[in-house]
Amino acid sequence: MRIYMQTSVSDDRPPRFYQLLIQEDLLEGWTLVREWGSTGGGGRTAREHFPSFQAAQEAMLKHRDAQVARGYKVMFIQGQEQPR
């Protein structure tokens, strides 16, 4: 499952992106990968491990909601289940 968000274009700075991705790992768990930065530039990455898909998805939705509150807009959602 993947969510890609972006800020609006402004005259003084390039748009920023924030991406959330859930991947199954080899340790019978799930990893939430968060990536963010300036569009077209280098970004930062953080990974969190969760014991279940549901726990990873709940964390993903919390991060999504926090970024939407900061002005990011969801550009697209890709995956098996659509977030609530």
Note the pLDDT of residue 59.
97
Phi-psi domain of 81 (left: phi exceeds 0; alpha: psi -120 through 50; beta: other):
beta
Q: Would you place residue 80 in the very low, low, confident or very high pLDDT band (cuts 50, 70, 90)? A: low
Q: Where are the domains of the chain?
A: 19-78
Mean pLDDT of 7-16: 82
pLDDT at 10 over 90: no
Among candidate residues 51, 35, 33, 31, the one with its CA nearest the CA of residue 43:
35
pLDDT tens digits, one per residue of 21-48? 999 988 889 999 999 998 877 789 999 9
Q: Would you place residue 81 in the very low, low, confident or very high pLDDT band (cuts 50, 70, 90)? A: low
